[in-house]
Amino acid sequence: MTTFDESPAVRRLTDWDLPRLETLADEYGTPLYVMDLDRVKENYARFSAAFPDAEVMYAAKAHTGKAVLEAVLDVGGEIECAAWGELERSVQAGADPNAMQYTAVNPPDHDLDYAVDLAAENPGLTITIGATDTLDRLAERDYDGRIAIRINPGIGTGHHEKVATGADAKFGIPYEQVPEVAKRVREEFDLVGLHSHAGSGVLTEGLEDHCKAIARVGEMARRIDDSDLEFVDVGGGYGVPYREDDEPLDLERTAKMVRDAVGDVEATLKLEPGRYIVADAGLILTEVNTIKEAPDSTVVGVDASLATMVRPAMFGSYHPMLNVSAPDREPHPATVGGPVCTSADVFAHDRPIARPERGDMLAIGNAGSYGYELASQFHSQPRPAEVGLEDGEARVVRRRETLEDVTRVEQ
């Protein structure tokens, strides 16, 4: 029997049970998100096994669905949150607030109020700050509890400039200001850790730059004397191969490089994988409704859109696609787009796909990370259902919205 840490390092679209996917689409309709909760557990366990002496927290923002959070908690995971709603949903899923970390980025008053109230009942909750202004606002709320300082290392990494947070002034305390901020935190609060996050979607070839940012965190820990710090948190950003010929992240090499980059510190190493845990555990099923032969391309219309998953429109992201209904047909270049009235609503341009026909079911892979989280109701489209697969069974973990759901908040 395959244990979690021995499971395959990457799951390609062709590894899914295609007849079962067609059955799910027939039963639950399309567009449809499918999340393999067993795969979520496998990915978390595999990542944790690569860092046996570290504390691994799942970055909830990648997918905050209750079923996913419960799957992570089932295998002993902890949760890192970036907003009050993620804190609340994690608690509802069964997470212990005393083991959680709240990474505040320009937090609204309501967020801080919620976090401070939660910490009053759960003093183990850690609040990570990225601005001295946040310290002032916490002090105004009579908070004197656990604080981690988010460092801006001045080095950004990742698959797109919009996720290279390590070089973005929005995120973290400027590097040379950290010692003075640490002095203040030690005087007024309980300084328990340092934190940084360089960027997202890093694969093996991007590790060198990623580890340069991590090394700065280790250097700062030694500079401010880490003898009283509980942890050094180097964030997440560990990627998955979206393209079919990309190799999966070499976890063994990654673990060694990260450890070497942090260097000799007394504090516990913390990491916050998000995408790595859920990306290849999810996909979207969408039905072909239109075939149009244009002068330069065959246009394939589907019922999923940028409202279903915005990553291709927002980041230019590549997601693998497969004709689930007829995978063995001759590949044909197809431009696949949805029903939204913008040229950005395209999942693939001139992509070789087993020639689609009206009524075929297509799968869009690696949709488990920042897929449903970024879904919208643009064009008054109700958001799709989500089905979870676990222990051989399928169940609806998020029902399909109706138009009544879309308009319920209107007055």
Alpha carbon of 57 to those of 48, 267, 289, 354: distances in Å? 9, 16, 41, 39
Q: List beta partners, residue 335.
A: 299
* Cα–Cα distance, 96 to 73 (Å, whole number): 10
DSSP-derived letter for residue 395 is E
Q: What is the DSSP letter of 151?
A: E
Give the pairing type, strands 298-302 and 282-293.
antiparallel
CA distance 226 to 193: 8
DSSP code per residue over 62-115 = G---HHHHHHHHHTT-EEEESSHHHHHHHHHTT--GGG-EEE-SS--HHHHHHH
The token pair that represents 360 in the structure block = 């075929």
- Whether residue 219 contacts residue 261, with contact meaning beta carbons closer than 8 Å, is answered with no
* CA neighbor of 33 nearest in space, from 9, 63, 12: 63
Helix 132-140 and helix 178-188, axial crossing angle in degrees, nearest 10: 10
Six-digit token string for 273: 């994988």
- Is 341 marked active-site? yes
Pick from 160, 170, 148: which is nearest to 217 by CA? 148
CA distance 171 to 153: 10
Q: Which residues contact 303 (CB under 8 A, 6 or more apart)?
A: 30, 31, 286, 287, 289, 338, 339
Rounded Cα distance between 62 and 273, Å, is: 9
Measured distance CA(166)–CA(121) in Å, rounded: 33
Q: Out of 341, 392, 393, 404, pick the active-site residue.
A: 341
Say how far apart CA 98 and CA 120 lie, in whole Å: 11
Pair type for strands 268-271 and 231-233: parallel
Catalytically annotated residues? 341
